[in-house]
Structure 1
C-alpha cells in the first residue's frame, strides 16, 4: 500500500509538525500489516468507527459498525510495533516534532506519564472528537488538509521552550550528556526530568533513537555500513549493530535490505 506523507502547508505549523498521512476506507480492500520502528516524534492517530486493541507492541485495528472517533498517542517505543488492519479504515496520523505537541496541548506531561506500553487515548480538547469527525467526513484531500491545519492552528499556545530546544540540539551531537547538563548549569538528573516531562523519554534514549534515525536518513548517501556508523555518531561498529538489533530486531544489513528507507514513513510491510 502506497501512502503519501504530506508536509504542512502552513509555514507556521512546519516548526512543530513533521507531517501527516491519511488512510481512507474503500480505497483498496487489502489488509494492511506492517512494522513501524522507534522515532522521536509524538504520533497522534485519529480513526473513525474502529475497534482498536493494543498489547505487547502489537496493535490490531478493524472497522466497527459503532460510530465514533478513537484517537491514540504514541510517544515512546524502543522496539518495533506491529500494526495490522483487517481492511483500511478512515484514519489520519500526525507526526509532531520533538516538543511540537507541547505548543498545542496544555500539560502534555499528563500524557507522557502514562504507561507507554498500553494504548493512550488522546482527547485533549472538549471539541476534539467532534471536530475530528467533521474533518474525516470531508470530501477532497486538499479541503481535509486545510481544515486539519486550521484546527491545530486554533489550538496554538505561545510557550518558551528555548532552554530545552537548545539542549535537544546539543544532545543530537556527540557531546556527553553530563557535559550538556554542566554547560546549561543544571544537573544530569534535572536534564532527564525535563526530557521525561516534556518528551516522554530520557536524554540517553532520545539520543540513541536520534542516532538510529540519522543512520537511516544518511544511508542513501553512505553505502558503507562502517562509514555510516561513524557518521551517525555511533561509538564503533559493534555499538551500531547492537543498537539496530535492539531497535529493529534486525542487523543493520538485514534492515537496510528489507526496508524502503527513501520514504518519510519507514515501514516494513509483512
Structure 2
C-alpha cells in the first residue's frame, strides 16, 4: 500500500490539520494488514461502500453489498490497533492536530464521552456524507483536494484556545503536572477536565504519547537508546523501554528494526 501524505494547501487548515491521505479501491490487492500506534492526533476516516467490524484492538474492513459512506474517528488508544482490509476501498483519512478538530466542530464532548478503545462513528454535519460522496466521485486528484479543503474551510469556527495552547506546551515539557496546574492557578482536577473536554485524554496520557512519538521522530539523530531516552525527557532508559513496550507491545530495538520511522505514517505491515 503506497500512500502519499498531503499537507494542506490552505494556510488556515495547516494550523489545525497535520495532513491527509487517499486510498483508491484496488482489486489487485486482496488483503492489506498493518498495525498503527498511539498518537495525539484526532484521526478521521471516511470510506466508501464498506462494512466495518471491530474487536479488541482490531478493525476489519470489508466490501459492503450496499452503497454507503462510512466515517469514524479515533481519538484515544493506548495499544497498537491492527487494521485489516479484506479489500482496499476508497478512503480519505485526516490527521487533526491536538485541539484542531475543535475549530470545525462546535462540541466534541459527545464523541469523547464514547468508548475510546474503538473507532467511533463520525457524522458531524448534515451535509457531511453527501459532500464526501461528491468528493469521492472526482477523478482528478488536484480537483479532489481543492473540493475537500474547501469543504473543511466552510466548517471553520474561530475560537480562543490560548489557555489550552499554553497548557499543552507545558505538558510537553518535563514540568510536574501538579506544578503546571499550580502555575496556571487551577486545580489538578480542573486541568484534567480541560484536557478530557478539549483533547479527549488526560494530561499524563497526552505526555506519555507525546514523548513516545517524539522519540520515534528523533530516533535517527540519536546514538543509542540511552541518549534517546534523555533527549525525550524520560527519567531513564528503563522508563523509556517500559512506556515504549506499553504503547507498541514491542522492545524499542525490535520496533525500530521493523518499522520505517521515516514515513509520515508509522505503520507495521504484517
Aligned twin of 1:236: 236
Bigger mean CA offset, 74-83 vs 116-125: 116-125
| Aligned partners of 2:48 and 2:70 also within 8 Å | yes
TM-score by length of 2: 0.98
Aligned twin of 1:79: 79
Structure 1 unaligned blocks of 5 or more: none
Report the CA distance shift for 1:220/1:30 in structure 2 as closer, same or farther (over 3 A). Answer: farther
Question: Distance between the aligned counterparts of 1:114 and 1:206, measured in 2?
Answer: 18
Matched, 1:103 2:103: yes
CA drift at 1:27? 6.7
CA drift at 1:225? 0.9
CA drift at 1:117? 1.9
Aligned twin of 1:93: 93
Structure 2 unaligned blocks of 5 or more: none
Aligned length: 270
- 4+ runs deviating over 3 angstroms: none
Q: Deviations over 1:223-266 (max 9, x none)?
A: 31110010011110110000011000001111101000001110
Q: Deviations over 1:104-124 (max 9, x none)?
A: 001111111111123311000
Aligned twin of 2:41: 41
Cα RMSD, aligned residues only? 0.9
- The 5 A counterparts of 1:61-80 are 61-80=61-80
Question: Distance between the aligned counterparts of 1:205 and 1:88, measured in 2?
Answer: 33
| Aligned partners of 1:55 and 1:117 also within 8 Å | no
Question: Distance between the aligned counterparts of 1:43 and 1:157, measured in 2?
Answer: 19
Question: Distance between the aligned counterparts of 1:32 and 1:147, measured in 2?
Answer: 28
- The 5 A counterparts of 1:1-270 are 1-26=1-26, 28-270=28-270
TM-score by length of 1: 0.98
Q: Deviations over 1:50-107 (max 9, x none)?
A: 0101121100001112111000000000000000001110000000000000000011
